[in-house]
Amino acid sequence: MEEIIRFYDVVDEEQRFQRNSRRIEFLTSIRALEEVIQHSSKILELGAGTGAYSFHYADKGHVVTALDVTPSNINKINEKKSNYKNISLKAIVGDATDLSQFESGSFNTVLCFGPYYHVIDDIARLKLIEESLRVLAPGGILATAYINKHSVVPMLVKKIPNFINDGTISKVMDEGYLKARDPESFWTDSHYTTPNEIEELMNQFDVSIVDHLGTDGLSHTLDNEIDKLSEQKFEIYKNYHFKTCRDRSILGMSTHGLIICRKN
């Protein structure tokens, strides 16, 4: 946990969705969730960062609780609230694997857009899903973002090829996680899975999978090329992405996947 806090104290989350190659993850996620989030929902966002999704949904009239383990992120959310009028957004420092401060069934939607791929302990990751489902009302929506194992090596080849080594690849593909201070690690504490593995996991719970898509497709690996596109060409690329992001071949290479489940 300390490594995650230390990392996000330094990283500027405000810049995360500024570039088109990164913004497409946000645009794809909210587009998919438009189909399933009820009007005037009570939404809990876990790992809210500096609040991109929380502010989006609060501005749409939802009642939003944003939780993040990094105090500086919560401070930024509270600072930005003054820029919005008549929104219901409460920001709390907390651990997404322990939601005991919330009553069971108290939310219509839980957005888990970061914690799943930063919790490297298997038991804690199961607790994360269990707690997310506990605080959901029956029929509520759990949307969980994950990082796809198969996207990692192409990204390393292009961006940080010094990590193309047997140790790093084995850690990601076979063990499914990296610790921040491991010599093989190119990031902070992080967990990696595949589309098939995340479906098998969610099928262990009393939920129905209602959607599963690759939110950034190939955009994370092709970031420089996509960022150089004109706005007109980016619109064309974006529409192509929207049409193909659920195809299993695209899902299998997307850096970020999003699995959306309904609590039975």
Task: Provide mean pLDDT across the span 232-257.
Answer: 97
Spell out the domain ranges in the chain. Answer: 2-162+190-263
Q: What is the pLDDT of residues 155-177, one digit of tens each?
A: 999 999 999 999 999 999 999 99
The pTM of this model reads 0.95
Class (C level, CATH) for 2-162+190-263: alpha beta
Here the tokens at position 51 are 């609040």
The larger pLDDT score, comparing residue 218 to residue 194, is at: 194
Strand 207-214 and strand 256-263: pairing? antiparallel
DSSP state of 79: H
pLDDT tens digits, one per residue of 90-109: 999 999 999 999 999 999 99
The answer to whether 223 and 254 have CB atoms below 8 angstroms apart is no
Tell me what pLDDT residue 16 has: 74
Whether the per-residue pLDDT at 178 is higher than 90: the answer is yes
pLDDT in tens, 39-64: 889 999 999 999 999 999 999 999 99
Residue 48 CB partners (closer than 8 Å, separation 6+): 54, 66, 67, 68, 73, 74, 77, 91, 113, 114
pLDDT at 1: 63
